[in-house]
Structure 1
Amino acid sequence: MSDAPLGSKANPSKFEVYKDLPDDEPYFVIRARDPLSSALVELHAYIGAGQSGSAHNKLAEIMSMTAAKPPRPSDSPKYRETFQISLSMEKWREG
């Protein structure tokens, strides 16, 4: 068994999808160094599990965490690309 954390390159999740990812399927990576990463992944899990109360509470926590920092400028290349990826995902699902 690996000492590397679960979900890392050295110890991928059993649900790892990168090896099966089609060349044209858009994806977005949230790295552990992002201060919101664990909260965002937890929010995704709560939503997927149908735990709306817990999802609501986690979203409130995320909003509280981000309230102290000024938002990234709307003309930030990273900000704009994130929305482009989101749109690419939606279009890809629509086929």
Structure 2
Amino acid sequence: MGTPIYSRFSKVVIFNPISIEDKLKIARKCYTGLMAQVDVEDNSLIENNSVLELFESAIKKGAYPNMRMLRNDIEDAINFEILKARGIIK
């Protein structure tokens, strides 16, 4: 939800903070779903990546108070790993 619409809903709906454990579950689910979409060749190139560990560490340190960007950031990190493994970027 964007900030303008969130402020309208927050007047009538109580939003509780998401726990660290729930954020980690969301990150794992996003990562698993995105990796399932990666083709076999690219998956074999990055099967031992540290993307999930990076995001788990960031979440444990307090990152992502707003979870909207998590999926996009995980997707970008996976794509970065693929491009790096293919030698397209360094």
TM bin (shorter chain)? under 0.3
TM-score, L = length of structure 1: 0.26
User: Whose RCO is larger (CA < 8 A, sep 6+)?
Assistant: 2
TM-score, L = length of structure 2: 0.27
